[in-house]
Structures are given as C-alpha cells and as structure tokens.
C-alpha cells in the first residue's frame, strides 16, 4: 500500500529501508527511473553504500546524508545539489527526505525534483540580464513565465493556453522550428532572432534557448531567456508610449504590478542571492523558499517574511504589501 501511494507520482521517489543499522533501496517509482536513468535491477534490494558513485556528484552519498539526518531524529531533511547520472549527464535537484513507519521496519521516502532548467535560468540571469524567462514543454505550451525588468504586460494564463507556434510570426515559424530541432540534436544552447507575436502585437526578439533532458535521454523541455524585445515599427504597440497592458476588463493589472514573487525575484537578482544561499542564511527550507519565489506561497508567515527581508536588506512590506 505504501508503494502504491507514490508509484504514479509525477515526482521522482525512492524508498530507503533501514534494517539492522544498514540502508537499502526498497522501491522506486517510474518517474525516478526516468529522471535518473537507473533501472530496478541496478537498485532494488541493494545497500546504499554499495551503489555506484557516478561522476563528480554521485547521488547516493547525498541520499545517505539525508537518511542520516532522519536517523538523528529529524522528521524531514532537505538538500539541493548537482547530481551526476549513470550516463554522466547531470541534473540539479531538490531532494526531500521524510520518515515513514510501517510495522516494525523504518522507511525513508526520498523525493527528487529536477530543477536543472530553473538553475540554468537563475545562473544566466546574472550574465545576460534577460527581460523574461519561460519553459517550453514537450506539449508545446509555455509555462513558468517570469519577468525580470518589470511586471508582465500580458495575462500569463492566456499566454499559457497558446500553442507555441502562435508565439512566432508566420514568416519565421519554419526557421525557428528547424532551429529548435537542431538544438535537440546538438543538446547545446542557441540564440534566436525572430518576430514574436503576442495577440495583435509584434516584437523583434533576441532570445537564448537550451534543451533539457531526463536521465534516460528523453527530452523534457526548452528553457528560454528573452534578452531583448523591440516593438515592430508601424504596429499599434510601437506607436504607444507605454508597454502594452492587460485588457481593461481583466482586472489583473494591479495584481501583476503588486506580485510579491516578482518583487522577490528582482531583489534576489539585484543582490545576486541564489535560492540556496537564501535558504542557508535564513535557515528556511529550500522548498519553502522556492515556493515563495515561484508564487506558490503568496503570503509567508510573518517570521519567514522578516527573515527573508532582513537577508535582502529591505522591510517585509517592500516585498509583501500586506505586511505594514
């Protein structure tokens, strides 16, 4: 029953069984095998200390340290690290260990979230000063859209519903599509210049794109940074003195301007503070920091907000308007 609970989880999960002072791989779900490239024959029933140490950042010592933290009495343990996979590819993962109990045996649930594309975006923002970042999924939809120089001027929900082809003006579509195919083959990043189509508006765009893959070699997504964005001459947007706004009846413009996650991302970028550094310096878990930064937690607890604000050298109200 315990294994059934996570077998079909989208997150990569493995269960470690502690028995007579030793730790063994008890079970893994499909997402774990896909993410890491390991197989059940390589893992199930084997002791952690006997598992292969692949590359410069092997996974199993990290898992072992998390389990050791649980053994010391902690109910949860977190880590954020680069991980080398069997084929010597790498991911940047958030790892979470949680204690479970079943009968007389002790089990530890290890969850791994692959944050490689988000880490790449974070590092590239320091080098390239982008306007917007986003992910392009295998389904051809845009997700995780983030603005760095100002609030997004369009309804993100509406943008996420569009097919990716609709973002590229018709004359440029075949060229962009072929360029993305070349990146899939080379597995390198590449720069694109094309005309961006946003509803009735058009922009000349310069972007950098990088493909990301799972440990089994399957394609996961493209990460995209928009480096420059200039309205096409002669369009309604180019003639306007202000950036294009949300439709008047959407009622979302004020919410976008006041978006606390945007303010936090901007402050972290200005201060050059990573998620890992902020978590370490405030002693707030990586998961909580990530959820606040990504907008999943709109209003953190007052102490959490104060610790984050102090670390960034501002008042909590500078990030969260509800704290006055």
CA atoms of 52 and 39, how far apart (whole Å): 13
Q: Running along the chain, 324 residues long, what does each successive block of 10 average in pLDDT?
A: 63 90 92 92 93 89 92 84 87 90 75 92 86 90 82 74 87 94 93 91 94 92 94 65 39 48 81 82 84 83 90 88 76
CATH of the domain at 309: 1.10.260.40
Query: Which of 221, 236, 253 delimits the end of a domain?
Result: 253
CA atoms of 197 and 219, how far apart (whole Å): 26
Whether residues 175 and 288 fall in one domain: no
**Do 141 and 164 form a contact (C-beta atoms < 8 A)?**
yes
Residue 173 belongs to some domain of the structure: yes
User: In the prediction, which pLDDT does 236 show?
Assistant: 57
User: In the prediction, which pLDDT does 4 show?
Assistant: 59
Question: CB-based contacts of 312: which residues, under 8 Å, 6+ apart?
Answer: 267, 268, 271, 273, 278, 319
Whether residues 185 and 135 fall in one domain: yes
Whether residues 171 and 202 fall in one domain: yes
Number of domains in the chain: 3
What predicted TM-score, i.e. pTM, was given to this entire model? 0.76
Whether residues 188 and 126 fall in one domain: yes
Quickly count: other Cβ atoms within 10 Å of residue 303's Cβ.
11
Please give the C-alpha separations between residue 232 and each of 147, 168, 207, in angstroms, as whole numbers.
21, 13, 16
Quickly count: other Cβ atoms within 10 Å of residue 204's Cβ.
15
User: In the prediction, which pLDDT does 172 show?
Assistant: 95
Residue 225 belongs to some domain of the structure: yes
Whether residues 30 and 97 fall in one domain: yes
**Do 296 and 303 form a contact (C-beta atoms < 8 A)?**
no
Residue 230 belongs to some domain of the structure: yes
Residue 230 has, within 13 A of its CA and on its CB side, a CA count of: 6
Please give the C-alpha separations between residue 243 and each of 205, 257, 306, in angstroms, as whole numbers.
15, 13, 33
Whether residues 22 and 85 fall in one domain: yes
Q: 142-147 and 190-198 as β-strands: parallel, antiparallel, unpaired? A: unpaired
- Quote the domain boundaries for residue 216: 117-253
Q: 132-137 and 219-231 as β-strands: parallel, antiparallel, unpaired? A: antiparallel
User: In the prediction, which pLDDT does 201 show?
Assistant: 87
User: In the prediction, which pLDDT does 16 show?
Assistant: 94
DSSP code per residue over 204-270: EEEEEEEEEE-TTS-EEEEEEEEEEEEEPTTSHHHH-SS-----GGG--HHHHHT-HHHHHHHHHHH
Whether residues 106 and 223 fall in one domain: no
Whether residues 222 and 141 fall in one domain: yes
Instruction: Read off φ and ψ for residue 323, nearest 5 degrees.
Output: -95, 105
Residue 324 belongs to some domain of the structure: no
User: In the prediction, which pLDDT does 253 show?
Assistant: 36
User: In the prediction, which pLDDT does 248 show?
Assistant: 39
Whether residues 201 and 96 fall in one domain: no
Whether residues 41 and 67 fall in one domain: yes
Please give the C-alpha separations between residue 69 and each of 15, 48, 267, 289, in angstroms, as whole numbers.
15, 15, 32, 20
Query: Which of 114, 140, 156 delimits the end of a domain?
Result: 114
Question: For the CA atoms of the chain, what is the radius of gyration?
Answer: 22
Residue 25 belongs to some domain of the structure: yes
CATH of the domain at 167: 3.30.450.20
Query: Which of 114, 148, 167 delimits the end of a domain?
Result: 114
**Do 64 and 16 form a contact (C-beta atoms < 8 A)?**
no
Instruction: Read off φ and ψ for residue 148, nearest 5 degrees.
Output: -120, -20
Whether residues 90 and 182 fall in one domain: no
Whether residues 104 and 207 fall in one domain: no
């Amino acid at each position: 029953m315990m294994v059934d609970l996570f077998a079909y989880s989208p997150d990569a999960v493995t269960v470690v069984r502690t028995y007579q002072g030793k730790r063994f791989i008890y079970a893994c779900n499909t997402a774990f095998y896909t993410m890491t490239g390991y197989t059940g024959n390589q893992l199930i029933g084997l002791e952690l200390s006997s598992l292969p140490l692949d590359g410069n950042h092997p996974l199993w010592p990290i898992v072992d340290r998390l389990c050791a933290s649980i053994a010391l009495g902690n109910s949860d343990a977190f880590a954020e690290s680069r991980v080398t996979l069997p084929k010597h590819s790498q991911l940047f993962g958030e790892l979470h260990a949680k204690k479970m109990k079943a009968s007389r045996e002790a089990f530890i649930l290890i969850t791994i979230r692959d944050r490689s594309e988000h880490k790449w975006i974070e590092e590239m923002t320091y080098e390239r000063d982008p306007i917007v970042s986003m992910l392009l999924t295998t389904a051809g939809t845009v997700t995780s859209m983030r603005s760095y120089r100002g609030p997004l001027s369009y309804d993100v929900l509406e943008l996420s519903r569009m097919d990716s082809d609709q973002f590229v003006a018709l004359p440029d579509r075949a060229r962009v599509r072929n360029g993305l195919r070349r990146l899939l083959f080379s597995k390198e990043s590449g720069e694109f210049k094309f005309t961006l189509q946003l509803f009735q508006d058009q922009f000349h765009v310069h972007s950098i794109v990088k493909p990301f893959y799972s440990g089994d070699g399957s394609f996961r997504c493209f990460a995209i940074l928009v480096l420059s964005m200039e309205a096409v001459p002669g369009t309604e947007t180019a003639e306007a003195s202000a950036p294009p706004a949300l439709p008047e009846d959407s009622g979302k413009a004020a919410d976008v301007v006041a978006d606390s996650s945007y303010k936090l991302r901007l402050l972290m970028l200005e201060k050059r503070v990573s998620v890992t550094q902020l978590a370490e310096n405030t002693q707030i878990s990586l998961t909580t920091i990530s959820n606040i930064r990504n907008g999943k937690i709109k209003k953190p607890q007052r102490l959490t907000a104060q610790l984050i604000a102090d670390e960034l050298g501002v008042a909590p109200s500078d990030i969260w308007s509800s704290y006055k």
